[in-house]
Amino acid sequence: MTFDFKTHLAALFSEALTDAPEIHLERPKLSVHGDYSCNIAMQLAKSLKKNPREVAANIIAALPHSEHVEKLEIAGAGFINIFLKNASKQRIIGHILQNGASFGKSTLGAGKKIQVEFVSANPTGPLHVGHGRGAAFGASLSNLLNAAGYEVVREYYVNDAGRQMDILTLSTWLRYLEIVGVDILFPANAYQGGYVRDMARIIHEMHGERYKHPIGAILYDIPVSDEDAHLDNLIASAKNLLGQDYQYLHDFVLNEQLGDCRNDLLEFGVVFDSWFSEQSLFDSGMVEHALSKLEEGGHIYVQDGAKWFRSTHFGDEKDRVVQRENGLYTYFASDIAYHLNKIERGFELIIDIWGADHHGYISRVKGALLAAGAPAEKLHVELVQFAVLYRDGKKASMSTRSGEFVTLRELRREVGNDAARFFYVLRKCDQHLDFDLDLAKSQSNDNPVYYVQYAHARIASVLEQWGGNLESLVDADPSCLSSEHEADLLQRLIDYPDLIRGAARELSPHLIAFFLKDLAAAFHSYYNASHFLVQDESVKLARLSLIAAVKQVIRNGLDLLGVSAPEKM
């Protein structure tokens, strides 16, 4: 018995009924209505032309015997309420203690190969707290899918080609020129952060004045124009003057920022299986390959010297340029190639985690896949709302270009990794999130991560005071566990595996956070109402085995969210 009571009961109903629809079992809000409730009688009543309660009675009569069912009752308009035997529910304790970290894992995914692509921030500066939410969500979702039996590949798409990297390279070179005495007015729309000056100082320390050029040569023949055009002209000038050295500077700033990003995420407990280079799409010919597929299908046309994709044929508000009149490909062209490449790599499901401002991008990417003859239904996009950080009641600015942003690293240092990871997944990813720093740092019951971790530490303290052999608790007799608090905890433990499957189906790791908060609350209530190290040996061992099982499930759930389970606090 795997203690998957819902699956067991659903199988009983399916066996009792011929050609029955899918069996749905729900957990009633009140224990007096049983452990599970089924509405199948009301579903069938109309087609059978019978009263739902009569149908329910016939179903109950036809149900095969189960050693786990205590009784069945008909309630209301025809609900079938199922009461499980206490002895069956109590056996969950030994099952959890035997399985340990594996408890809750399932074969739902059957090894299905899934790619989860997340964060994928431009390597043009440190990660900020907005990126942190996508990182926490993506990592937790990947862990959840793994626990549900999927084979997950975590991927970071590195935007190492295009204009933004050129702007960062130029910004760093201009700060370098300041160091070597060439003072050019720094553009307002270049990257302003202190990290740019830091990279410039490193370049100067390593190479001296190698990349110095006179101001007249830099600004020669650059017309007065708008800010964006001026920036592009400065980039062109830098490429012309520096020649091969420009590529060195470009690669240097890319590696510096990508390395910083990788280390930041690693310290945050976020590890990727693959770092996919955008530049590789061009170098390998994948962009040309993707666009040729679109052209073969008649989905590309030329206008004003540029190539356009007919994205309006696939629900987009307007057609999109994929290759400009100067021959350069757009970001959209490389995105088409990247997603086609994902399909060609054999993933059965592709999950992209994007910022909420990319909502309009979904239809055009899916449209491009359809136009290329690829199964667009394999692409699923989860949108993550921006996290707004409040410090001392004030909203913090997070503009990367201006340099006035709060980094993920600063947040982690202030509140800790655990609070950051837990708070980020406390809401469904598409819901607005205000990150309350004061609450995240507080050691109070109002702080959800502290509340959950404290439950784990409290149990560890009780077990330490007992000082017995933890492995012996597997064989403890749980039959005396009959109080309301104990029944509540047992049912929550039984619910955990089904929760994992449901959260995986819905791509919703926040459900794990909700469950842990409720489980911790149930334990704290039990702790305040009970004594564990009592004189009666059988009662003591039964209660210790129950809280040891609660401790294990809290640890398992926190592990999915990338949060530690401390033994002491």
**Res. 112: pLDDT tops 90:** yes
Residue 195 is predicted with a pLDDT of 93
Residue 295 is predicted with a pLDDT of 96
Q: At what angle do helices 244-267 and 163-179 cross, to 10 degrees?
A: 100
How many angstroms separate the CA atoms of 409 and 312, rounded? 42
Residue 391 is predicted with a pLDDT of 78
C-alpha 145, offset from chain centre: 10
User: Of 512, 451, 525, nearest to 136 (Cα)?
Assistant: 512
Residue 398 is predicted with a pLDDT of 55
Provide mean pLDDT across the span 332-342: 97
For residue range 27-57, what is the model confidence (pLDDT) as tens digits?
A: 998 888 999 999 999 999 999 899 999 999 9
How many angstroms separate the CA atoms of 159 and 512, rounded? 32
**Res. 415: pLDDT tops 50:** yes
* 3-state class (DSSP) for residue 274: strand
- Ramachandran region, residue 69 (left: φ > 0; alpha: ψ -120 to 50; beta: rest): beta
How many angstroms separate the CA atoms of 325 and 421, rounded? 45
User: Containing H/E element for 69?
Assistant: strand 69-75
For residue range 456-480, what is the model confidence (pLDDT) as tens digits?
A: 999 999 999 999 999 999 999 999 9
User: Can you give the pTM of this predicted structure?
Assistant: 0.93
Residue 531 is predicted with a pLDDT of 96
Token output for 457: 């530490």
How many angstroms separate the CA atoms of 97 and 100, rounded? 5
Length of the chain: 569
**Res. 403: pLDDT tops 60:** no
H-assigned helices in 406-536? 408-415, 417-424, 437-441, 448-466, 484-505, 510-529
5-84 placed in CATH 3.30.1360.70: yes
Can you spell out the DSSP letters for 202-269?
HHHHHHTTTT---HHHHHTT-----HHHHHHHHHHHHHHHHTHHHHHHHHHHHHHHHHHHHHHHHHTT
**Res. 3: pLDDT tops 80:** no
Among residues of the chain, what percentage have pLDDT more than 90? 88
For residue range 205-234, what is the model confidence (pLDDT) as tens digits?
A: 999 999 999 999 999 988 877 888 999 999
Task: List Cβ neighbours of 358 (8 Å cut-off, separation of 6 or more).
Answer: 381, 383
How many angstroms separate the CA atoms of 86 and 112, rounded? 36
Residue 21 is predicted with a pLDDT of 84
C-alpha 402, offset from chain centre: 28
For residue range 242-267, what is the model confidence (pLDDT) as tens digits?
A: 999 999 999 999 999 999 999 999 99
**Res. 369: pLDDT tops 90:** yes
* 3-state class (DSSP) for residue 324: coil
Provide mean pLDDT across the span 500-510: 97
* 3-state class (DSSP) for residue 1: coil
User: Containing H/E element for 552?
Assistant: helix 537-560
Q: Is 395 exposed, middle or buried (0-12, 13-18, 19+ CB in 10 A)?
A: exposed
Residue 212 contacts residue 179 (beta carbons within 8 Å): no
How many angstroms separate the CA atoms of 444 and 424, rounded? 18
- One of 1.10.730.10, 2.30.29.30, 1.10.3720.10, 3.10.20.30 is the CATH number of 445-560, namely 1.10.730.10
Name the phi and psi angles at 479, rounded to 5: -65, -25
Provide mean pLDDT across the span 516-545: 98
Residue 1 is predicted with a pLDDT of 46
Task: Spell out the domain ranges in the chain.
Answer: 5-84, 163-259, 445-560
- Ramachandran region, residue 555 (left: φ > 0; alpha: ψ -120 to 50; beta: rest): alpha
Whole-number mean pLDDT of the chain?
94
For residue range 357-368, what is the model confidence (pLDDT) as tens digits?
A: 898 899 999 999
